[in-house]
């Protein structure tokens, strides 16, 4: 099979007792985009980490252009022209763009780093991607999307024949995603072979040539994109036809009766990033928040929860409150599932149980003593409910796949038994089957009387689960839509335009 630039044959990987990959084989042709699909925990990232020299396989062989190679460390991978843009970006925030890209590979001049060459090399790379950042600026000031572009530039700084993107579009806006598609197509046309991991099947249809599916650490089949349909892919991924993704819409509209009185009234909420936001949230209501990235949606949730200071009023069940810290927020029955699980949501070096009980503990003072049995019981309940793929509650969170980590963040919040649940991109990186489970859980919680404020960049998600949708634009509330009025176009119109009268 000479036309394969890459073959991974019979790859096996065990982490202690966890058998992450079983005899997996894939082949990749030059100038093709191979999409790797599969449920959370199927082994996609592990397989690619082995290719990138980040993890070592327990068994198996890798061939580049027909020749058997040993990839033991990331530098070996670079030597073979293999680069990977990871699911969780690994960057040093306090270094400049140029330093991040060329770390350890600086050109020197008279024994010193040649700063001019470093800057110029970086500029040349960024130009290739059509981006205009200052090479000497710190990475920390850039958004996730832009940091990803910096990672891509870094990948391209090596002689490149194979590039792997692990879940690249999850945090991106529509435009940023289009830009990434453009970059991927250009790479492919330049003869680079691309492997793309994504839970968004739109990505697969937009840029993919071929699909390989993993299930429970094994090959589950391959398919040309021309022949693929969502149903076919999903069936290979989860081994059965998926039932419906969103809870019955008619149920939801007919079920308005479950929505009660106002629980929380937000009045003129203002801080550095949000301007004069006022709305009401009712008991049992799922209130969606739409807007473009940078519109202030995350900042709104953070201000309500008590992460960021703000002015204005929040009236909770008739009482005027301000959450001055997340602890105060938790104490009053709020819980926040943050956008970036790594920064704010999880302690990776602790177990699932420890992470889950963290939020219970914070609240425990108001409940008195929580017993051990209750804690483990609650933890197991959410592992089960959210279908977290783990051998048990004591596994370190860092050993979970990306999507399963996201489920722990969600479980952790639910375990605090909130009355007002603030969700920021709750299904980012979660597979299509698990998404449906999460929508059902959100719907059930609302049915039990929880009030939910949910931010999402996925329109179908917002339209599928909300009872009402707020739209933000540049820090302001630009409109509010009932589900009868709401559509992708109606949301976009408000997301792009300023509200004329701000009364």
Could you say which of 28, 37, 45, 206 contacts Mg ion (CB under 5 A)?
45
Which residues in the 75-94 window bind Mg ion by CB under 5 A? 87
Nearer to ligand ATP, 402 or 464 (CB): 402
The continuous run of DSSP H or E covering 365 comes out as none
Find the shortest distance in angstroms from Cβ 46 to Mg ion: 8
Token duo for residue 62: 């890798």
- Work out whether 44 is an interface residue with ligand ATP (CB under 6 A): yes
- Work out whether 402 is an interface residue with Mg ion (CB under 5 A): yes
H helices of 399-501, in order, are 402-415, 432-447, 459-465, 488-496
Buried b (16+ CB within 10 A) or exposed e, 75-110: eebbebbbbbbbbebebeeeebbbbbbbeeebeeee
Cα–Cα distance, 494 to 291 (Å, whole number)? 8
**With CB under 6 A, what is the number of residues at the site for ligand ATP?**
20
Could you say which of 5, 6, 11, 20 contacts ligand ATP (CB under 6 A)?
20
- Work out whether 56 is an interface residue with ligand ATP (CB under 6 A): no
- Work out whether 310 is an interface residue with ligand ATP (CB under 6 A): no
Could you say which of 135, 284, 306, 402 contacts ligand ATP (CB under 6 A)?
402
- Work out whether 475 is an interface residue with ligand ATP (CB under 6 A): no
Choose from Mg ion, ligand ATP, none: what does 326 bind? Cβ within 5-8 Å by kind. none
Give the residues across from 472 on adjacent strands: 291, 477
Nearer to Mg ion, 69 or 396 (CB): 396
- Closest CA relative to residue 62, chosen from 46, 74, 50, 49: 50
User: Exposure of 359 by Cβ count < 10 A (0-12 exposed, 13-18 middle, 19+ buried)?
Assistant: buried
Place of tokens 């933000």: 472
Residue 164: φ, ψ to 5°: -115, 130
- Work out whether 38 is an interface residue with ligand ATP (CB under 6 A): yes
Stretch that binds ligand ATP, among 240-248, 257-265, 313-321, 398-406 (CB under 6 A): 398-406
Cα–Cα distance, 432 to 204 (Å, whole number)? 13
Find the shortest distance in angstroms from Cβ 387 to Mg ion: 16
Residue number closest to ligand ATP, CB atom: 403
Inter-CA distances, 488 with 236, 307, 316, 411, 458, Å: 30, 31, 31, 30, 10
Which residues in the 174-233 window bind Mg ion by CB under 5 A? none
Choose from Mg ion, ligand ATP, none: what does 40 bind? Cβ within 5-8 Å by kind. ligand ATP
- Work out whether 41 is an interface residue with ligand ATP (CB under 6 A): yes
- Closest CA relative to residue 259, chosen from 289, 290, 280: 280
Which residues in the 403-442 window bind ligand ATP by CB under 6 A? 403-404, 431
Find the shortest distance in angstroms from Cβ 36 to ligand ATP: 8
Strand runs (DSSP E) across 307-450, as ranges?
A: 311-316, 319-321, 334-337, 420-424
Choose from Mg ion, ligand ATP, none: what does 345 bind? Cβ within 5-8 Å by kind. none
> What are the residues binding ligand ATP (CB under 6 A)?
15, 18, 20, 38, 40-46, 87, 389, 399-404, 431
């Amino acid at each position: 099979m000479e036309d394969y630039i890459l073959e991974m044959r019979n790859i096996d990987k065990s982490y202690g007792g966890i058998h992450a990959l079983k005899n997996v084989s894939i082949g990749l042709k030059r100038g093709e985009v191979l999409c790797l699909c599969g449920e959370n925990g199927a082994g996609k990232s592990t397989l690619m980490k082995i290719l990138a020299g980040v993890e070592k396989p327990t068994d198996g062989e890798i061939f580049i252009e027909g020749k058997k190679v040993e990839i033991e460390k990331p530098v070996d991978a670079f030597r073979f022209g293999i680069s990977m843009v990871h699911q969780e970006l690994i960057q040093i925030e306090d270094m400049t763009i140029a330093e991040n890209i060329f770390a350890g590979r600086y050109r020197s001049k008279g024994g010193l780093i040649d700063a001019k060459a470093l800057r110029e090399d970086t500029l040349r790379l960024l130009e290739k991607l059509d981006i205009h950042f200052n090479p000497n600026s710190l990475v920390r000031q850039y958004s996730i999307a832009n940091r990803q572009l910096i990672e891509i530039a870094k990948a391209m700084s090596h002689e490149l024949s194979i590039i792997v993107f692990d879940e690249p579009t999850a945090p991106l806006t529509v435009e940023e995603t289009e830009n990434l598609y453009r970059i991927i197509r250009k790479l492919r046309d330049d003869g680079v072979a691309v492997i793309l991991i994504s839970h968004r099947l739109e990505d697969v249809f937009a840029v993919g040539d071929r699909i390989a599916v993993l299930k429970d650490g094994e090959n589950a089949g391959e398919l040309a994109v021309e022949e693929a349909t969502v149903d076919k892919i999903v069936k290979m991924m989860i081994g059965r036809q998926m039932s419906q993704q969103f809870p019955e819409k008619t149920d939801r509209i007919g079920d308005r009766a479950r929505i009660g009185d106002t629980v929380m009234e937000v009045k003129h909420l203002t801080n550095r990033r949000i301007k004069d936001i006022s709305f009401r949230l009712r008991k049992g209501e799922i209130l969606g928040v739409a807007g473009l990235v940078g519109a202030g949606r995350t900042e709104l949730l953070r201000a309500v929860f008590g992460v960021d200071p703000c002015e204005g009023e929040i009236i909770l069940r008739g009482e005027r409150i301000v959450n001055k810290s997340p602890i105060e927020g938790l104490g009053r029955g709020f819980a926040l599932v943050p956008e970036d699980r790594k920064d704010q949501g999880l302690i990776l070096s602790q177990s699932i149980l420890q992470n889950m009980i963290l939020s219970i503990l914070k609240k425990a003072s108001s409940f008195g003593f929580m017993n051990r049995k209750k804690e483990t019981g609650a933890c197991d309940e959410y592992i089960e409910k959210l279908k977290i793929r783990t051998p048990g509650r004591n596994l370190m969170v860092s050993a979970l796949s990306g999507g399963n980590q996201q489920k722990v963040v969600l479980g952790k919040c639910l375990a605090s038994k909130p009355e007002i649940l603030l969700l920021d991109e709750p299904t980012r990186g979660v597979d299509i089957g698990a998404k449906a489970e999460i929508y059902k859980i959100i719907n059930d919680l609302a049915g039990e009387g929880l009030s939910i404020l949910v931010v999402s960049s996925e329109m179908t998600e917002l339209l599928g689960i909300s009872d009402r949708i707020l739209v933000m634009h540049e820090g302001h509330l630009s409109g509010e839509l009932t589900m009868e009025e709401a559509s992708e176009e109606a949301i976009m119109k408000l997301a792009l335009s300023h509200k004329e009268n701000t009364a």
